[in-house]
Every structure is written in C-alpha cells, then in structure tokens.
Structure 1
Amino acid sequence: MQQSEEVLFREARKEDVPAIVAMLADDHLGATREGDPGDERYLAAFERIDANPYDELIVAEQDGEVVGTMQLTYLAGLSRLGAERCQIEAVRVAATARGRGLGGRMIKWAVDRARERGCAMVQLTSDKSRTDAHRFYDNLGFTASHEGYKLSLS
C-alpha cells in the first residue's frame, strides 16, 4: 500500500501516546530506556505536557496513521533581550515512513511554528552517538554551536 504525500501536523491526543512511545523506543537508545506504552507514567507525562501552554507534543499523521512525533518547548530567558527560544526534542519518524523526507518536513514545520510565535531561535540537542541525525540537522542549516551536558538523577 502506498502512502499519500499529504501530512497533517497536529497536537497529540491521549490515544496517540502508544504510537509515540513505540517510535521513541524504536532505536538503539530508546530500546534501552523506554517501557510498556501502557505504563501510567507516559499518560501522566502526556497530561502534564498537554496542560502546559509552553509545551506542544506534535504528531505527523499520514493516511490516518501517526508516523512522526516531536515535542516543542518554548523557553523564556533574559538573554537576547528577553527572547523566547523553541527547544525541539524527541524527533522521531516511524520506521515505515523513513527515507521519504518526512523528518525534514517536520523540522521545517517546527521552525515555522516557532517563527509564528515570535521565537528568536530554535535549538535542539542530539545524542553524540546519533551521527546520522547530526548530518540531517547540519543539512537543514543547524549549527553545532554548543557542548551539552546531562546528569542522570535516576
């Protein structure tokens, strides 16, 4: 079955959570850190994200199926004259939809969304082991300008 080229970008709904979690788990890093999509912690996190006007959990839907996801978080700051930034996280494309340009369309949509909100910058991080993702973001015009650090608390 051939998928149409039409993609709908929309805010995620509660019933999308299992598909989103499946996409998060479908790579070498996610496979080690994600759990059962029915785990109540995912639904609690969804409710929190959904209630926050500075968070948007977005899905890409094609032919009625969720085939992509990303989270946009809008960050206030004093730097850059008090400019708001858009942080893009958890960008995933379903295995069945990879290789057809959907990821690029998702990022373009996110950048346009940030611009509409008046953000001065879009930023994202990518695990150092995701070299294909680094090439992807480089090709979209992103610059690896900072070194990131994380401290796991669990």
Structure 2
Amino acid sequence: MLSYRVAVKNDAGVVAQLLTELEHVNSLEQISERWERWSAVPENDVWLAYLPGGEIVGLAIVGISPSLYRPYPIGRLWALLVRERFRNRGFGRLFLSFIEEGFREKGCGLIELTSNVVRVDAHRFYESFGYSKSSFRFSKVL
C-alpha cells in the first residue's frame, strides 16, 4: 500500500536523485536554491509516494493554472516518476489515481502533461489511463 505526502525543502536531495531517473540532472544545491521560488506558488506541489517503512517509491510534480480559454482550472503534471525497481507493480496506477483525485477536488476540468518523445512505455501507461495526444509542445532554450 502506498502513502503520500507533500515534499518539503529538506526533501530536496531525494527529489534531485529521483529527477535523475527522468534525465533531469540537478544537484541538491540547485534544487534547494529553486525550492523557495517553486513553493511560493500555492498551487505547486511535489508529492512523494512511499511504502509503509518510509522508502520513497516515486514523485509527482504538479501545479494548477487558471484558464482564460476554459471555464475551469487546468491541472498540470510536470513530472511523474516511479523508481525503476518499483515499476510494473501497480504503484504508478495508484499514484496517478491519487494525483487525478487531487486535481478533481480542486475543481480542475482537465489535466495536461508532457512526456519525452523517447519514453514510449510512459506514453502507453498514460494512454491506458485515458490520456490522449492532443497537441504538440515546442520548446526553445534561451
């Protein structure tokens, strides 16, 4: 059974470590420096999923945005990760269900997420949950 909690600044090390599994390499110092700015936005959260003994299974980075073009806020799932050794055991499904319920409770009518084009297994996972490819995301490094 999984439990969930909102991460705090003291969790910056585990957050940095988990993000490396998504190929987002950040040091403890970098995550710690950004934490205050990130957490100053009340709609932003980093959720940790953990086992009864306290071992961290994964993380979800989420936010909520008001919308000018929709009548409801949009839930944004910036990252969802289950550690590799815990994959294919149902933890991802439990975690995503928990995140979706949180968005519902806050009045979101839509969830948007991005997934790296090479993460084909992740795409299949999201599609099995009812997500569909609905747009292209473009990015440019400045």
TM-score, normalising length from structure 1? Answer: 0.85
State the secondary structure of the residue aligned to 1:126. Answer: coil
Measured after TM superposition, the shift of residue 14 of structure 1 is 2.0
* Aligned counterpart, 2:21: 26
* Aligned counterpart, 2:105: 116
Measured after TM superposition, the shift of residue 26 of structure 1 is 2.0
* Aligned counterpart, 1:75: 65
- For residues 56 and 34 of structure 1, the distance between their equivalents in structure 2, rounded to whole angstroms, comes to 19
- For residues 48 and 10 of structure 1, the distance between their equivalents in structure 2, rounded to whole angstroms, comes to 20
Query: What is the total number of aligned residue pairs between the two structures?
Result: 141
- Structure 1 segments, 4+ long, off by >6 Å, are none
Task: For residues 80-111 of structure 1, give each alpha carbon's deviation from its aligned partner in whole angstroms, at most 9, with x where no partner exists.
Answer: 23x20000012111223222111111111111
Q: Identical aligned pairs, as a percentage?
A: 28
- For residues 55 and 48 of structure 1, the distance between their equivalents in structure 2, rounded to whole angstroms, comes to 10
- For residues 8 and 51 of structure 1, the distance between their equivalents in structure 2, rounded to whole angstroms, comes to 25
* Aligned counterpart, 1:127: 116
Alignment gaps of 5+ in structure 1: 1-5
- For residues 34 and 15 of structure 1, the distance between their equivalents in structure 2, rounded to whole angstroms, comes to 18
Alignment gaps of 5+ in structure 2: none
Cα contact 2:74–2:108 (8 A) shared by 1: yes
State the secondary structure of the residue aligned to 2:102. Answer: helix
Of the candidates 5, 9, 31, which is equivalent to residue 10 of structure 1? Answer: 5
TM-score, normalising length from structure 2? Answer: 0.92
- For residues 16 and 70 of structure 2, the distance between their equivalents in structure 1, rounded to whole angstroms, comes to 35
Measured after TM superposition, the shift of residue 116 of structure 1 is 0.1
State the secondary structure of the residue aligned to 1:42. Answer: helix
Of the candidates 64, 86, 106, which is equivalent to residue 54 of structure 2? Answer: 64
Cα contact 1:49–1:57 (8 A) shared by 2: no
Cα contact 1:10–1:60 (8 A) shared by 2: yes
* Aligned counterpart, 1:48: 37
Coordinate RMSD, CA, aligned: 1.4
Task: For residues 49-99 of structure 1, give each alpha carbon's deviation from its aligned partner in whole angstroms, at most 9, with x where no partner exists.
Answer: 222211011110112122110111101111123x20000012111223222
2:125 is equivalent to residue 136 of structure 1: yes
